[in-house]
Chain A
Amino acid sequence: MSALQAHLPALQVIVPMLTAPLVILVKERRLCWAATLLASFCALAIAVSLCIDVLHGDYIRYLMGSWPAPWGIELRVDAFSALLLLIVNGASSLALVGATASLDRDIESSRQPLFYAAWLLALAGLNGILVTADAFNIFVFMEISALASYVLISAGPNRRALPAVFKYLIMGTIGATFYLIGVGLIYLMTGTLNIADMELRIHEVADQRPILVAAGFITVGLALKAAVFPLHVWLPNAYTYAPNMVTVFLAACATKVSLYILLRIDFFVFQQNLSGHDFQFSYFLMPLSLLAILVASTVAMFEPNLKRLLAWSSVAQIGYITLGASLVSVAGITASLLHMFNHALAKGALFLVLACLGMSLRHLRIENIAGIAKQMPWTMAAFVLAGLSLIGVPGTAGFISKWYLITAALDSGPWGTALIAIIIISSLMAVVYIWRIVETAYFQPAAEQAVVSEAPLLLLLATWTAVALNFYFGLSAGLPVELADSAARLLMGHMR
């Protein structure tokens, strides 16, 4: 066991990556599902083990092929990456538990092995981004996960998934290429790709034009991939037309991993070396975050398609995450990272509920769910509880991160009260769009001809596990708070 322990950072990527071709060779779809589930839980166990090791601000280094660091590729897991590893592997595992029934509806059985392989590759890519300490390596893993998620999304049953995924492909590739230009310019000036090494060497060339241009390219490119308003246009359609289970997986983690890269590069490399960069970062990100929160919440209030409604809500929630980061303080970044974790829990649970509804309904539109709570009591009860977490009612996970965000905003100076007002207004907007669905499902008369039955057991199990986690982490938030706090100190510790 101890021999394996040393290799956990590498295994985090290798386990899902090597399971992918095996899954294609096994043609039986239930076996494929079992193998994928096993690999995903294995990765989750590794993530938990890494989390425990780095909880108090240490980090684990792993030298690929034992080549010393700036020359060879180094893997490095610290509290920040461990938190994201937990989100990504947790979301994948939970989605896979309930996936079978929903996927049988969306994807023909002969194609399912390929689908599971793409799922594993997406997981491997996301894990790879999180463990590596090499800026170019991040680009490669980013493209692996992106290519796999294009395939996953295009597997959707509706043909509209195709134009949606094409748009995502174009915008995702432009974002990744912008990142590549930025990394190239930094390499040009410093001669290194290792992020820790970059941090040391960029000091000598800081505030020269190529570095400033690189900061611009990297920030904009990753904002595009992370769907930061107004670069979010690919997100609503991609999430809406993807197979339901894919939306659960990607909505919980894909954009957050891009935000992870953005924060890591920005705080480790740029913040302490470029003069006035913290102000530029704040003034760039804060207005966009506030616009995201207000505009996307407003759109969500009027959207009839349930999946697109939640996708717009995701755009708003990304706004909260970037708002916390734009405060550039330990409290703000803690709030931001906590919200990554808690939003993944709440939105994962809500999209799982939609997957339950999707078992009986062809079109997930608000008028089709009138009175459905009578026939699907468990599903709709889960929706209400997960909705409470999204809104941020005390006792749920969503409350914890909003509380931290409000506390951080209070400390942030004269604008604090205005920020709090906007956070509260947008929470009320969330009440409106969640209530619209609850009201329709519980209090409107059901359509006559609808024959609807409760969702299959495994899917309900996954949904209720997600809901239970929302309450568990709402009542005892110790682990995510500690991780987020260590990570925030780590990020801010790199600033002078």
Chain B
Amino acid sequence: MALLELYHYWVFAALLMIGFYAVIAKLNLIKKLIGLSLFQAAVFLLYISMGKVEGGTAPIFTDSATEPLYSNPLPQVLILTAIVVGISTLALGLGIVVRIKEEYGTIEENEIQEIDRQ
């Protein structure tokens, strides 16, 4: 049961590996980038899930007499930054793929290598 209680780590690990597999095994450059995004998204989930406190709410001060339980907001802030970084990387990667398509006429890795070998 202890294994199931930590299910968010399993989701993290599974997503991470699916993304990593796509980056390594796929020859299509766009698919590689999708894999890379998935790979990063898995890490975002790791951060987000670690900040969650069971029963905790958003850390906003209220007038209520009892101090409510707060979730840790810091990981979410960190991941907001990391998401921006991830999007920039993806955008730049797609930009490079467009340029590769213009120059080589293909986005398959093996075909590009073939053309370069000539």
Contact = CB atoms under 8 A, between A and B. Distances in A.
Contacts of A162: 96, 99-100, 103-104
Given A177-B40, A187-B50, A169 B93 contact: yes
A193 to B, nearest CB: 8
A154 B99 CA distance: 10
A173 B89 contact: yes
A173 B50 contact: no
Q: Looking at chain B's contact residues, is the secondary structure mostly helix, strand, loop, or mixed?
A: helix
A187 B47 CA distance: 9
B81 interface: yes
B32 to A, nearest CB: 6
A143 B116 contact: no
Contacts, number: 67
A188 interface: yes
B43 A150 contact: no
Q: Looking at chain A's contact residues, is the secondary structure mostly helix, strand, loop, or mixed?
A: helix
A188 B47 CA distance: 8
Contacts of B11: none
Contacts of B39: 174, 177
Contacts of B99: 154, 162
Contacts of A165: 96
Interface residues on B, range: 20 to 34
Contact of B50 (A143, A150, A169, A188): A188
Most chain B Cβ neighbours within 10 Å, of A169, A177, A188: A177
A230 interface: no
B48 to A, nearest CB: 10
A51 to B, nearest CB: 30
Interface in A169-219: 169-170, 173-174, 177, 180-181, 184, 187-188
A140 B81 contact: yes
A177 B43 contact: yes
Contact of B36 (A151, A170, A181, A187): A170
Contacts of A302: none
Contact of B40 (A151, A159, A160, A173): A173
A44 B82 CA distance: 30
Contacts of B113: 163
B57 interface: no
B38 to A, nearest CB: 11
A174 B22 CA distance: 12
Contacts of B36: 170, 173-174
A147 interface: yes
B43 A174 contact: no
A245 to B, nearest CB: 20
A284 interface: no
B85 interface: yes
A451 B96 CA distance: 36
A150 B96 contact: yes
Given A143-B89, A173-B40, A173-B89, A166 B96 contact: yes
A41 interface: no
Contact of A150 (B85, B92, B104, B116): B92
Contacts of A187: 47, 50, 75
Contacts of B96: 150, 154, 162, 165-166, 169
Interface in B2-39: 20, 23, 29, 32, 36, 39
20 contacts: A136-B78, A139-B82, A139-B85, A150-B92, A162-B96, A162-B99, A162-B103, A162-B104, A163-B100, A163-B116, A169-B92, A170-B23, A173-B40, A174-B36, A177-B39, A177-B40, A184-B47, A187-B47, A187-B50, A187-B75
Given A143-B85, A180-B82, 16 more contacts: A139-B85, A147-B89, A159-B104, A160-B116, A165-B96, A166-B93, A166-B96, A166-B100, A170-B36, A173-B89, A177-B39, A177-B40, A180-B43, A184-B43, A184-B75, A187-B47
Interface of B: 20, 23, 29, 32, 36, 39-40, 43, 46-47, 50, 75, 78, 81-82, 85, 88-89, 92-93, 96-97, 99-100, 103-104, 109, 112-113, 116
